[in-house]
């Protein structure tokens, strides 16, 4: 699907979409509460969340979805006696969260996790090393990963400058082990806010994780997930940032449904947008790499910026730093991408000279769309928004954006 957006003034109020990060976590916790049923509201129709539900079903959890509400009855993954295939589609969170859960079975059960070739090419060495050290079967192909064996409790040392999803995955699984465990996170620690979101979700389902100090997590063994009857997913700061950027561009937009006390790391866009509005700041995004595309877009339309801690943008759904550099060049913006930093120079910001490429990356498409409300233009491959926010263009239309969708041969 391609889209054509016309420049326009926008106004209106939107409710922040539900947090995809919290939806993953709460659904997994509910799915691990054996024999208990929890009804969770605020579940989106995004491809990533659907992948998590599909994987829970493959492990024996049962769910029904009506609108934005999911009623889910949990399973005891330690007692699964049949081989299972879990289709993670393109969801990195799903893949990394479920690998340790597939290592909770003490029998000879084999679990195969599938997904796109792009997904399976993303780094998984943390789990590979753990499986090698514990003599767990681990076979990694181009489009599938097969594991079989039992994860043991103990002390784990995990680098802190990689995706926090590896640590969160262990936090879901280790409480189900017989004995206590410790995770030592080797500094520097990035994306700690996502670990706090995981701990918050676990706590809501009766599982206790504690920080012993700023880089040590203590996980008590022999815990059981306890599902509340109802739960809800809070509004998402990650996706709200795209609409907040429209407001920053002078549109009269209000965003409702965000929790001011949220632990979401992408809440940082509030202060970063202020910095981008006032000058040419240096902003470290190691704790919130998903904000990278929209921060680069805002910098291009405003005064420029230097972004540090950008190394991990290379291993997202696309190489986001270079993808944005290529597309911003069509707006007359020069971008220099280095190993762990990016510099945006808004030399002569203007309407794009050619159609923009979405790189099959939802955040690239949404970031570029915000700029097109200023200049007008086209995006090829705009269907990528289905990964996290399928209704994105409908929300833009509700604010007064002229969006024309079309297909090409």
Instruction: Please identify every residue annotated as catalytic.
Output: 290
Please name which of 240, 264, 260, 256 lies closest in space to residue 370, comparing C-alpha atoms.
240
- Please give the structure tokens belonging to residue 140: 């990694």
Instruction: Tell me if 251 sits within 8 A of 219, measured CB to CB.
Output: no
Instruction: Tell me if 92 sits within 8 A of 120, measured CB to CB.
Output: no
- Please give the structure tokens belonging to residue 330: 């069509």
374: Cα within 13 Å, side-chain hemisphere: 20
What are the backbone dihedrals phi and psi of residue 328, each rounded to the nearest 5 degrees, phi first?
-65, -25
The Cα 136–Cα 226 span in angstroms is 29
Report in angstroms the alpha-carbon separations of 240 from 45, 195, 277, 294, 296.
Answer: 17, 21, 18, 11, 16
What are the backbone dihedrals phi and psi of residue 221, each rounded to the nearest 5 degrees, phi first?
-85, 175
> Which residues lie below 8 Å from residue 271, measured CB to CB, with a gap of 6+?
none
The Cα 207–Cα 199 span in angstroms is 8
- Please give the structure tokens belonging to residue 355: 């159609």
Q: Which residue has the tokens 């999911």?
A: 70
Burial of 82 (0-12, 13-18, 19+ CB in 10 A): exposed
Cis peptide before 97 (omega within 30 of 0): no
The Cα 12–Cα 20 span in angstroms is 23
The greatest distance separating any two alpha carbons of the chain, rounded to the nearest whole angstrom, comes to 63
Burial of 22 (0-12, 13-18, 19+ CB in 10 A): buried
Instruction: Tell me if 202 sits within 8 A of 29, measured CB to CB.
Output: yes
The Cα 356–Cα 380 span in angstroms is 6
DSSP state of 373: H
């Amino acid at each position: 699907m391609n889209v054509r957006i016309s420049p326009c003034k926008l106004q209106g109020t939107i409710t922040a979409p539900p947090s995809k990060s919290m939806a993953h976590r709460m659904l997994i916790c509910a799915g691990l509460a054996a024999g208990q049923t929890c009804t969770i509201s605020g579940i989106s129709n995004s491809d990533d969340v659907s992948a998590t539900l599909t994987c829970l079903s493959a492990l024996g959890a049962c769910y029904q979805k009506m609108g934005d509400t999911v009623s889910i009855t949990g399973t005891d993954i330690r007692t699964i006696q049949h081989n299972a295939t879990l289709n993670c589609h393109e969801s990195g969170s799903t893949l990394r969260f479920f690998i340790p859960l597939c290592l909770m079975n003490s029998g000879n059960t084999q679990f195969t996790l599938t997904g796109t070739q792009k997904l399976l090419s993303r780094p998984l060495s943390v789990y590979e090393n753990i499986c090698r050290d514990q003599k767990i079967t681990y076979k990694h192909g181009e489009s599938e990963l097969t594991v079989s064996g039992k994860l043991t409790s103990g002390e784990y040392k995990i680098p802190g400058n990689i995706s926090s999803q590896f640590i969160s995955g262990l936090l879901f699984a280790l409480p189900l082990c017989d004995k206590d465990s410790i995770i030592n996170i080797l500094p520097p620690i990035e994306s700690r806010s996502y670990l706090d979101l995981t701990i918050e979700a676990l706590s809501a389902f009766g599982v206790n994780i504690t920080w012993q100090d700023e880089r040590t997590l203590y996980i008590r063994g022999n815990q059981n997930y306890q599902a509340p009857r109802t739960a809800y997913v809070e509004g998402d700061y990650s996706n709200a940032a795209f609409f907040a950027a429209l407001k920053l561009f002078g549109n009269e937009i209000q965003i409702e449904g965000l929790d001011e006390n949220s632990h979401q790391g992408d809440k940082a866009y509030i202060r970063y947008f202020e910095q981008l509005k006032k000058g040419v700041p240096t902003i470290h995004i190691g704790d919130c790499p998903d904000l990278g595309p929209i921060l680069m877009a805002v910098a291009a339309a405003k005064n420029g910026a230097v972004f540090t801690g950008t190394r991990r943008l290379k291993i997202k759904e696309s190489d986001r730093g270079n993808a944005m550099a290529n597309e911003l060049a069509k707006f007359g913006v020069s971008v220099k991408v280095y190993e762990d930093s990016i510099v945006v120079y808004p030399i002569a910001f203007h309407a794009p000279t050619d159609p923009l490429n979405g790189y099959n990356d939802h955040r690239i498409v949404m970031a570029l769309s915000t700029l097109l409300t200023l200049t007008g233009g086209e995006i090829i491959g705009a269907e990528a928004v289905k990964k996290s926010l399928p209704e994105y263009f409908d929300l833009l239309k509700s604010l007064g954006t002229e969006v024309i969708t079309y297909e090409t041969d």
